[in-house]
Amino acid sequence: MKWFLTASAIALSTPAMGQPACVDTELVLLSDVSGSMNLEEKEIVRKGHVAAFRNGDVLYKILGPERPCGAILVTYVEWAKSQQVIIDWTVIASDEDAEAFAVALENAPFGNVGSQTYLSYAMDFAGKLITSNGIEGTDRVVDILGDGQDDSPTKPREIVERYSGDHLKAWQKITWNGLPVVGEHDKSLIHYFQTQVIGGPWSQVFPAYGFDDVPSAIIKKLSKELG
């Protein structure tokens, strides 16, 4: 796997150099770009994540003095029928790291991943990314942003059980948090995420009520799960 690494990340395994020797959270940002979303909506989602890594509250939750490591490991993935890593694993241990991540995400093209909503396939992809990255963060989190239910032949619950079930030790379990984008008159997707998608330690749903609400929902979600 090719890594996108900052100077801090390169020194991750060399604490003698004064760089972070650990990360508080391994975080996969899993963003829906399926055919149910138009270009403007995809851009809102992308810009919302960019803005979040420039948000003072989010940065404090990552870098604040009460955090044991003061660093996270994060990757950004877009998905529909298939999945594409847009920004590979990156250590954020400083304001400069966060800005570099934001700039890279801001300038990256959208993934070419088809149009169907294969949510469980995307979740399995995210689980494999975390369990194969060679790093053991204090927490393992996958954020799932989507505006529809799964079309794939696999059920999201099966993926949650695979990576967060009782057969795993506590430190191995992934937390699956959801950010469903719901319409004003149809809240059924919230219930779907609550019952079928989220799982693992302290999992939560952070709904966005329309795409205009997505940026604030992203900031709320990151502030909560990184705090």
**How confident is the model over 154-167, as a mean pLDDT?**
97
Q: How far apart are the first and last CA of the chain?
A: 29
**How confident is the model over 80-101, as a mean pLDDT?**
97
11: confidence class by pLDDT, cuts 50, 70, 90: very low
**How confident is the model over 164-193, as a mean pLDDT?**
94
pLDDT in tens, 50-79: 999 999 999 999 999 999 999 999 999 999
Instruction: Using the predicted structure, report yes or no on whether residue 17 has a pLDDT greater than 70.
Output: no
The answer as to whether 8 is a domain residue is no
Of residues 127 and 11, the one with the higher pLDDT is 127
pTM: 0.91
The answer as to whether 179 is a domain residue is yes
169: confidence class by pLDDT, cuts 50, 70, 90: very high
The range of the structural domain enclosing residue 124 comes to 23-226
Instruction: Provide the pLDDT for residue 16.
Output: 31
CATH of the domain at 81: 3.40.50.410
Mean pLDDT of the chain: 91
The answer as to whether 18 is a domain residue is no
Instruction: Using the predicted structure, report yes or no on whether residue 1 has a pLDDT greater than 50.
Output: no
Count of the separate structural domains present in the chain: 1
The answer as to whether 143 is a domain residue is yes
**How confident is the model over 149-162, as a mean pLDDT?**
97
Instruction: Provide the pLDDT for residue 227.
Output: 82
The answer as to whether 13 is a domain residue is no
pLDDT in tens, 124-154: 999 999 999 999 899 999 999 999 999 999 9
Instruction: Using the predicted structure, report yes or no on whether residue 10 has a pLDDT greater than 50.
Output: no
The answer as to whether 124 is a domain residue is yes
**How confident is the model over 82-100, as a mean pLDDT?**
97
The answer as to whether 100 is a domain residue is yes
* Least confident interval from 6-15, 26-35, 138-147, 164-173: 6-15
Instruction: Using the predicted structure, report yes or no on whether residue 208 has a pLDDT greater than 50.
Output: yes
The answer as to whether 166 is a domain residue is yes
Instruction: Show Cβ contacts of residue 33 under 8 Å, excluding neighbours closer than 6 positions.
Output: 42, 45, 78, 79, 80, 110, 111, 113
Q: Could you please report the per-residue DSSP string of the chain? A: ------HHHHTTT-GGGTS-S--SEEEEEEEE--TTS-HHHHHHHHHHHHHHTT-HHHHHHHH-TTSSSS-EEEEEEEESSSEEEEEEEEEE-SHHHHHHHHHHHHHSPPP---SS--HHHHHHHHHHHHHTSS---SEEEEEEEESS---SSS-HHHHHHHHHSTTS-GGGPPEEEEEEEEBTTB-HHHHHIIIII-BSTT--B--EESGGGHHHHHHHHHHHHH-
